[in-house]
Homo-oligomer: A and B are copies of this chain.
Amino acid sequence: MLTTQDTASRDDVRAGIVAAATRLLREKGANAVTTRAVAQAAGVQAPTIYRLFGDKDGLIDAVAEHVMASYVSGKSIAADAATGDPVADLRSGWRAHVEFGLTNPELYALIATRGSGAPSPATVAGLDVLRRRVRRLAAAGLLRVDEERALLMIHSAGNGTVLTLLGMPTDQRDLGLGEAMLEAVLTSILATTPATPDTTTNAVAVTFATVLPDLPGLTDAERALMAEWLHRSLTHPT
């Protein structure tokens, strides 16, 4: 049975392994992060890594989580604080993303270019953050493309920008590239003014009903059904 002391020591050695792997990754590059090297640097045996992390991917995921947590806690919390302006929040998130990639090149390349199948937990975490920010844009009536489309565009542009910058020598990087790409994407996905000044449910639904006939890509039957349902919902008690 596990006592509190056991779990504490377990967490300690786990943290030590993550710290050792992080240091190796930063100082010696991705190729130096082997199970044996990490185990030796952390002063544990190789199988311990597998008992604590499952396999090497689990270790890398733990390293990513640790580095990202350190990064966001190192920065002022203002990065994630809601400014009230969803566009400003998206911009600051973009800049944080680019800066994180340039600060941790090896780790970024490791998690962003995970070849096989499932994406890394760090990637899905980042996508979740981005998804929330995009949703706020949509809810404020500022998006003029599909929400998922906007999400994928920002993600593609951000990832591609960081990978491009990482692929060139430090001294000849175009530091304005990030801002230019952000402006390019924003110009394409943002509405100049909110489509519906009043973003309450009913107001949006009423406005939407007026543009429903102009929606492309739908059959008349589908438009008719949507109109009927809209009417029913808007006349629904409570």
How many copies of the polypeptide does the oligomer hold? 2
CA distance A161 to B207 in the complex (A): 28
- Determine whether the beta carbon of A216 is less than 8 Å from that of B188: no
Q: Give the size category of A's interface with B.
A: 35 or more
A220, CB-defined interface residue at 8 Å: no
A78, CB-defined interface residue at 8 Å: no
Q: Which residues of chain A (1-58) have a CB below 8 Å from chain B?
A: 29-31
- Determine whether the beta carbon of A238 is less than 8 Å from that of B218: no
A115, CB-defined interface residue at 8 Å: yes
The one of B142, B194, B207 that contacts A143, using a Cβ cutoff of 8 Å = B207
Q: Which residues of chain A (194-238) have a CB below 8 Å from chain B?
A: 194-196, 198-211, 214-218, 222, 225-226, 229-236, 238
Contact with B along A115-149 (1 / 0, CB 8 A): 11001000100000000000100111111111111
A156, CB-defined interface residue at 8 Å: yes
A-B contact list, 16 entries, CB within 8 Å: A110-B115, A112-B163, A113-B113, A139-B211, A140-B207, A148-B235, A149-B180, A156-B157, A156-B160, A156-B181, A184-B187, A184-B188, A194-B203, A196-B207, A205-B211, A218-B233
The 4 closest A-B pairs by CB, nearest first: A160-B160, A217-B236, A113-B113, A195-B203
